[in-house]
Amino acid sequence: AEMLVFETAEAGAQVVADHIAQAVRASSAFTLGVATGSSPLPVYAALARHAAGGADFSRVSAFALDEYVGLPAGHPQSYAEVVAREVTEPLGLDPALVRVPDGGAEGIETAGDRYEEALIEHGGVDLQLLGIGATGHLGFNEPGSSFASPTRVKTLTERTRQDNARFFDSVDDVPMHCVTQGLGTILRARHLVLLAFGEGKADAVAAAAEGPVTASMPGSAIQLHPRVTVVLDEAAASRLA
């Protein structure tokens, strides 16, 4: 992987956003894979500045990595709402071109397959933004997930529910399940850009980028991909060899 270490998250995010804006200028039919959580927020902020400066993202398609199962439609912490608020609106994407897995309880048995089909029919993702969990998860593929896994329903680990409790009133309000792109799905994207900032990510980053390739460290799947860029601040890079 190409490893880029910056003094601040904002500096790294600016480089990623400039690269995306350039790729969109070259081919307006660009498809962006969006992650939620904190790590990509400075990238979205930098892309919003490009949009405010006249960049046209209206023909960019977007596919989200994952969604909680069972939150009521319109719940502010559902990833459909988070993506609308943090990506679609500030960047000026066409909402018709933005897809998030369907976490509605009804039809949940087919939600993974339907999303997988939509991705394949669309022609896949050009650049997939990724964060990494303290457990090493990519998307919500927790340790033990197959490197060949497709989009499917998963149970969140207790650790991940605790980590995400900050977005809810309490950990009890964090859903138990999610629909997530699989590691196999993520590995089909043409370029992976993994963002990790802060000391709390240092161990996961070192294990993912330099440790053994193993299902017990889902992040190590990046070592199987021919085109990966890892964007770090100094704290997140501090345990690299």
Write the interaction track for ligand F6R spanning residues 61-100; mark x where CB under 6 A is met and - where it is not. ----xx----------------------------------
Instruction: Dump the DSSP string for the chain.
Output: -EEEEESSHHHHHHHHHHHHHHHHHH-TT-EEEE--SSTTHHHHHHHHHHHHTT---TT-EEEESEEESSPPTT-TTSHHHHHIIIIIHHHT--GGGEE-----STTHHHHHHHHHHHHHHHT--SEEEE---TT--BTTB-TT--TT--SEEEEPPHHHHHHHGGGSSSGGGS-SEEEE--HHHHHHSSEEEEEE-SGGGHHHHHHHHHS---TTSGGGGGGG-SSEEEEEETTTTTT--
Task: Give the nearest distance from C-beta 39 to ligand F6R in angstroms.
Answer: 3
Which of 13, 20, 35, 183 forms a contact with ligand F6R (CB under 6 A)?
A: 35
Least distance to ligand F6R, CB of residue 166, Å: 9
By CB under 6 A, the residues from 101 to 140 that bind ligand F6R are: 131-133, 137-140
Closer CB to ligand F6R, residue 16 or residue 55?
Answer: 16
Q: Any idea what the Cα angle at residue 187 is, between residues 90 and 142, rounded to 5°?
A: 85
Choice between 38 and 214, CB closer to ligand F6R? 38
**Rounded CA separation 136/158 (Å):** 14
Q: Which stretch binds ligand F6R (CB under 6 A): 17-25, 33-41, 83-91, 230-238?
A: 33-41
Measured at CB, which residue is nearest to ligand F6R? 131
Q: How far is the CB of 103 from ligand F6R (least distance, A)?
A: 12
Task: Give the count of residues interacting with ligand F6R (CB under 6 A).
Answer: 14
In whole angstroms, how close is the CB of 238 to ligand F6R at the nearest point?
A: 16
Least gap, CB of 95 to ligand F6R (angstroms): 19
Contact pick of 31, 39, 149, 229 for ligand F6R (by CB under 6 A) = 39
* Interface contacts to ligand F6R, rule CB under 6 A: 35-39, 65-66, 131-133, 137-140
